[in-house]
Amino acid sequence: MPMPLEIVEGPAIVGGAREWENRGWFPPGPQLAICLSGGKQHLADLTDDELLQVAAAARRQTSWAQARELAAIAELAQRRIATETAETAEGPDYRTLTACESVTEEVAAALTVTGNTAATLVHLAERLTGPLAETGDALESGRIDMAKARVISDITDDLPDQVIARVQAAALDKASVQTTGQLRRRIKRIVQRLAPEAAEERRQQAVRHRRLELWDTTSGTTDLALCDLPPEDAHGIFNKITAAAHGLKTEGDTRPLHLIRADLAAHLLNGAPLPTAARAVLTQATPRDDGTTDDGTVAEPTPPATSPAAGARDTARRGGLAVLPPAGGLAVLPPAGGLGATAADDDPALPGVAAMVNQRLTHLRDRTPAAELPAAVSRTVRQIRHRLASQRDALCQGDGERHGRPGYRPPAELRREIEARHATCVFPTCNQPSPRCDLDHTVPWRPGITCRCNLAPLCRRHHRVKQTPGWGLHHVWPGLLIWTTPSGAWYIVHPERQ
Ligand SMILES: [Zn+2]
Ligand SMILES: [Zn+2]
């Protein structure tokens, strides 16, 4: 595909040839990397136009690097999947991960991204090296960026092959001069025209997965969203709340509409009928220091969800917004950390053990052929664990506790100790809070014991990772766990990583 040279304007020539002159579409790759690698102070010498060219060039280079990232992931996924189809003729084993899921966890751990992000990357990698190869080429040549590649991939997912090819060609035709929003709207129109049944099927499929979602934000607040509703339902709800909010404005609520809408929606979701919700919002709307509202009446006290002092603090912090009582049944689990130090947190030997393991494995990696590395890493960690057995047992017995408890189920106080030691699942990138995890016996019970030197929180997903061929989890020291992966990497999980 020809590069859209028409959008490039030559930089103004100031005092002879300039460094970025006519490099508007200098292709990404090693040479462009050299052009971009000048020191930051060097930018001060460039014209305004050249600065914009540098920014655009850096973006092209990023696209190129992201295409390489995805190509590497695709190659690894292809290898794993090829091995799987050769090995698992007898059908899937639900206790372990599929090759695709396993490579997703390898990517998550290696790139330090969540499982969801890794799954998106693996999927995108497979598509850009498969049915969307031309989109992959456009990314690698810097004609589109990763966000646009994702738009093309998302909207063409699940479409028939021949439609994908036509949508892709039409999308790439203008993608380099459109924003992601413009591109998304355009591709949707194209899909609607070329495959209306597929578009409708996709809409219905999404509606079948409608859900109420909850997530914490970086500001310390929590978002709550209804996702994948039929558009008519979502617009209906929004219009109804907006109409009620306008009504409250005419009755004297002077706050911006979006605040009134949010308070109204929260009251309604808490179970209040509309008239009660509207009255509550109006009452809370703009309490002044003297306790009166804008219309001069005395404000009723806010619902007794918080103490007066806490209510005042919250009101101050939220700029006068009334505090809503916590919604029943929607409470998030409190952060599991900070429940008190455990013996393992204070264990002075632990950093030394971790450093020793890392040193041994790094040394091993430097002198082991790649093909033998995964087995060698796993074997070495097992040997280290074995050699530390008597010291580990002595530490575990040292503080007057019995090393190992009778029975499979850990007693409550041991469970609390483990959950305080590891606030989340012990997979390196997992955020599942320990109270929602199973306490896994790292060495399965009998011969493994029920003890803090053999228990760690694992979510269901990462419990399956542990059981997947090629993966290993080793509890080398109380609270210190080592993951070993099918590619011969290792991850050391400390008790205090939170
Ligand atoms: Zn123990
Ligand atoms: Zn997990």
**pLDDT tens sequence for the chain (498 residues):** 444 433 333 333 344 456 676 666 788 999 888 888 876 778 888 889 888 999 999 999 999 999 999 999 999 999 998 887 666 556 667 888 999 999 999 999 999 999 999 999 999 999 999 999 999 999 999 999 999 999 999 999 988 888 999 999 999 999 999 999 999 999 999 999 999 998 899 899 999 999 999 999 999 999 999 999 999 999 999 999 999 999 999 998 999 999 999 999 999 999 999 999 999 998 887 554 444 444 444 444 333 333 333 333 333 333 332 222 333 322 232 333 333 344 445 788 899 999 999 999 999 999 999 999 999 999 999 999 999 998 988 888 876 666 788 888 999 999 999 999 999 999 999 999 999 999 999 999 888 899 999 999 999 999 999 999 999 999 999 999 999 999 999 999 999 744
Q: What's the CA-to-centroid distance between 62 and ligand 2, angstroms?
A: 31
Put residue 422 in one of left, alpha, beta given phi > 0 → left and psi -120 to 50 → alpha: beta
Question: 455 and 418 in contact (C-beta within 8 Å)?
Answer: yes
Tokens 């991939």 map to which residue?
153
Q: What's the CA-to-centroid distance between 462 and ligand 2, angstroms?
A: 5
Q: What's the CA-to-centroid distance between 451 and ligand 1, angstroms?
A: 5
Question: Residue 240 and residue 226: Cα distance in Å, rounded?
Answer: 15
Question: 441 and 448 in contact (C-beta within 8 Å)?
Answer: yes
Its pTM surpasses 0.75: no
Put residue 98 in one of left, alpha, beta given phi > 0 → left and psi -120 to 50 → alpha: beta
- Partnered with residue 491 across adjacent β-strands are 483
Tokens 């959950």 map to which residue?
419
Question: Residue 169 and residue 469: Cα distance in Å, rounded?
Answer: 41
Q: What's the CA-to-centroid distance between 461 and ligand 2, angstroms?
A: 6
Among the bound ligands, name the one nearest to the CA of residue 425: 2
Question: Residue 162 and residue 198: Cα distance in Å, rounded?
Answer: 12
Nearest in space to 143 (alpha carbons), one of 37, 56, 33: 56
Q: What's the CA-to-centroid distance between 394 and ligand 1, angstroms?
A: 9
**Predicted pLDDT at 355:** 95
Kind of pairing between the strands at 472-477 and 480-484: antiparallel
Among the bound ligands, name the one nearest to the CA of residue 461: 2
Q: What's the CA-to-centroid distance between 444 and ligand 1, angstroms?
A: 14
Nearest in space to 197 (alpha carbons), one of 155, 159, 171, 154: 159
Four-residue CA torsion sign, 384, 387, 392, 398: negative
**Predicted pLDDT at 453:** 92
Among the bound ligands, name the one nearest to the CA of residue 454: 1
Question: 110 and 145 in contact (C-beta within 8 Å)?
Answer: no
Question: Residue 436 and residue 457: Cα distance in Å, rounded?
Answer: 9
Q: What's the CA-to-centroid distance between 465 and ligand 1, angstroms?
A: 24
Q: What's the CA-to-centroid distance between 463 and ligand 2, angstroms?
A: 7
DSSP string, 187-199: HHHHHHHH-HHHH
Put residue 470 in one of left, alpha, beta given phi > 0 → left and psi -120 to 50 → alpha: left
Q: What's the CA-to-centroid distance between 429 and ligand 2, angstroms?
A: 8
Among the bound ligands, name the one nearest to the CA of residue 403: 1
Q: What's the CA-to-centroid distance between 386 and ligand 2, angstroms?
A: 26
**Predicted pLDDT at 26:** 83
Neighbours of ion ligand 1 (CB under 5 A): 396, 403, 451, 453
DSSP string, 350-396: HHHHHHHHHHHHHHHHHTS-GGGHHHHHHHHHHHHHHHTHHHHHHHH
Q: How would you label 94-125 residue by residue, b for 16+ Cβ within 10 Å and e otherwise?
A: eebbbbebbbbbbbbbbeeeebeebbbbbbbb
Among the bound ligands, name the one nearest to the CA of residue 493: 2
Q: What's the CA-to-centroid distance between 240 and ligand 2, angstroms?
A: 41
Q: What's the CA-to-centroid distance between 403 and ligand 1, angstroms?
A: 4
- Partnered with residue 483 across adjacent β-strands are 473, 491
